[in-house]
Amino acid sequence: MLRLELRLRYVAGNLSFPSKIAFLVLLITLLVGATILLKEVDKNLSIEIPDDGGVLREGVAGTPRFVNPVLTISDADRDLSMLVYSGLLRTSEGNFELDLAEKYEIDEENLCYTFELKPNLLWSDNKPLTVDDVVFTIEQIKNPLTKSPKRASWEGVGIEKVDEKTIRFCLEKPYSPFLENTTIGIIPKHIWKDILPEQMPLSTFNIEAVGSGPYKINKISRDSSGIIVSCELTRNENFVLQKPYLKKIIFKFYSSEKKLIEAYNENKIDSLSAISPKNILAIKNKENSLKTYFLPRIFAVFLNQNDAPVFIKEEVRKALSLSVDKNLIIEDVLQNFGVSINSPIPPGSIGFTETEDTEESYETRFEKAKTILEKNGWKLNEEEGVMEYKTKKETTRLEFSLATSNMADLVQTANLLKEMWEKLGARVNVKIYEIGDLEQNVIRPRKYDALLFGEVTGRDPDPFAFWHSSQRNDPGLNIALYANITVDSLLEKARETFDMKEREEKYQKFQTEVIKDMPAIFLYSPYFIHIVPSVIKGLNEYSITTPAERFSQIYNWHINTKKTWKIFIED
């Protein structure tokens, strides 16, 4: 190398001035060419990958009470639980991926599910996570004294600890959507074992949670009244999947949707979700990304023929359904963030079929509704403006109450329905309830004429809980009090078959029966709205089944990026 350098100096020293200029130009050309070549090689061989760092401030309307998968009741509870806890499986890209479990097997009869845990699992407090924790969690859910909202999903499921790494669940009969159950977050036995099941809702560990998820609770802030106003989460180094990229997530809680939006506009939070479509107009234009997810939810008016005999008449149910302008509700209430439905299974779910004639105008449908009533003997009482059906013994009036929750979208929808039906000749009394009052004092005892309400059907729709006759009374969810022997048989067989085509066929037949009987007036499936900073990458692009599931892949979210050559990326 030294000799080469001396020779270059010698040659350069003996060159004439014009030759030196030519040599310099040649050297510069070579250097520029080499630089361009290296950049092109780098461009073709390197890619941009996520990098560590960044903070996300998420706003939520509501306050967490149970950051505990066994007890979660609110969106705030479920959001935090999704970040703090892990299940045997985790939802991923519309399906499932292994989380705490290393593998699982299903027996030939589709009755027993055997899971083997990954080695060296740890809680966020560095204590070992074992099969005993899984057994303990499910036993707490199944215990009636715990009063877990998840209890119904685990009834009839036997639990067996096979060995220190293996657990087995055995069902009384096949249940095709069972794997969804195993995404439930596992709670630590060493934290909860000395707390009586009936005392679980009172424990401070519902907030000062210890889990095994991607994040752990680091700091909780309360106002002067003791109400939680924010919760800071940091990365859990013991999370069994990949290390999350975002360094910190801060949840801020607000008493109303209005205050939530004000906080966003004042730059106190970066993202928010579950807001009413109309309130999107109140959000100031920022560098954000509006994500919409199609949750498997249906909203409908469920008709209680026991409390309101007027609904027993088929022509009444048919006329009320025809006289609803669903497009107006979609446009006016949902701001087009949703789709109209005419089925108990939401669009995109297994077995869904489009059944409504969308080409027929609302005016035509409304005239049909009037004609149906008139042909069946209903006449308008001109003095009172109410349709009546008279016999020698009695007069039946087209009159009923419509109950719903005190949520802006539902209240507006109820009032629109009232206008539409009163135009038809009905008299409708809209009754608005706070959600707790509605659930405890109206829905559970089935004390309503008509109920405007929503149902979340899940990843596999499994409509059994909502439409099987055995579920007509509390705690069942058959709020239309619907009974049909054919439907019962279809639903029983559908949940027992693992043949997707066969299950789909049964769901389609189920839909046909329900639409024919008209126990409810199906209205719409709304989109779930999530506004996040445009700098956040790696968000879930697939369908989700609950609002909290938007965080199922939170460890992939990132703000920062870096470049590396493809050859250094592991497959």
**Over the stretch 236-266, which tens digit does the pLDDT of each residue have?**
999 999 999 999 999 999 988 889 999 999 9
> Alpha carbon 423 to chain centroid distance?
36
Q: Which two tokens stand for residue 215?
A: 């994040």
Of 423-427, 448-452, 460-464, minimum mean pLDDT range? 460-464
Confidence of residue 41 (pLDDT cuts 50, 70, 90): low
Q: Tokens 């089935």 — which residue?
A: 446
Confidence of residue 449 (pLDDT cuts 50, 70, 90): very high
Confidence of residue 355 (pLDDT cuts 50, 70, 90): low
Of 208-222, 342-356, 418-432, minimum mean pLDDT range? 342-356
State yes or no: pLDDT of 29 exceeds 80.
no
Of 68-77, 298-307, 481-490, minimum mean pLDDT range? 68-77
State yes or no: pLDDT of 528 exceeds 60.
yes
**Helix axes of 408-424 and 362-375: crossing angle, nearest 10 degrees:** 50
CA distances from 188 to 68, 197, 238, 293 (A): 10, 14, 14, 32
What is the arithmetic mean of pLDDT over 46-50? 77
Of 28-42, 144-158, 451-465, minimum mean pLDDT range? 28-42
What CA–CA distance (Å, rounded) separates 512 from 123?
49
State yes or no: pLDDT of 286 exceeds 80.
no
Confidence of residue 330 (pLDDT cuts 50, 70, 90): very high
State yes or no: pLDDT of 568 exceeds 70.
no
Per residue in 496-514, pLDDT (tens digit) is: 898 889 999 999 999 999 9
pLDDT value at residue 570: 54
Residues of the chain with CATH 3.40.190.10: 55-294+528-568
State yes or no: pLDDT of 567 exceeds 80.
no
Instruction: Identify each DSSP E strand in 2-85 by its residue range.
Output: 46-50, 55-61
pLDDT value at residue 152: 79
Please give the radius of gyration of the chain, using alpha carbons only, rounded to the nearest integer: 30
What is the arithmetic mean of pLDDT over 13-20? 63
pLDDT value at residue 339: 92
State yes or no: pLDDT of 14 exceeds 80.
no
Of 43-57, 191-205, 462-476, minimum mean pLDDT range? 43-57
Q: Tokens 């042909």 — which residue?
A: 375
Confidence of residue 155 (pLDDT cuts 50, 70, 90): confident
Q: What percentage of the chain carries pLDDT values higher than 70?
A: 91
What CA–CA distance (Å, rounded) separates 182 from 563?
37
pLDDT value at residue 250: 97
What is the arithmetic mean of pLDDT over 99-123? 96
Q: What percentage of the chain carries pLDDT values higher than 90?
A: 68
Residues of the chain with CATH 3.10.105.10: 297-526
Per residue in 368-394, pLDDT (tens digit) is: 999 999 999 999 999 999 999 999 889
Confidence of residue 296 (pLDDT cuts 50, 70, 90): confident
What is the arithmetic mean of pLDDT over 288-301? 87
Comparing CA positions, the residue from 352, 338, 299 lying closest to residue 461 is 352
Confidence of residue 120 (pLDDT cuts 50, 70, 90): very high
Q: What is 297-526's CATH number, 3.10.105.10, 3.40.50.300, 3.40.640.10, 1.10.1660.10? A: 3.10.105.10
Let me know the angle formed at the C-alpha of 409 by 255 and 354, rounded to the nearest 5 degrees. Answer: 135
State yes or no: pLDDT of 353 exceeds 80.
no
3-state secondary structure at position 95: strand
State yes or no: pLDDT of 30 exceeds 80.
no
Residue-wise burial string across 177-186, b where 16 or more C-beta atoms lie within 10 A, e elsewhere? bbbbbbbbbb
pLDDT value at residue 45: 62
Whole-structure pTM over 0.75, yes or no? yes
What is the arithmetic mean of pLDDT over 308-320? 96
The torsion angles phi and psi of 481, rounded to 5 degrees, stand at 50, 40
State yes or no: pLDDT of 143 exceeds 70.
yes
What is the arithmetic mean of pLDDT over 405-420? 94
For 55-294+528-568, CATH number?
3.40.190.10
What is the arithmetic mean of pLDDT over 8-24? 62
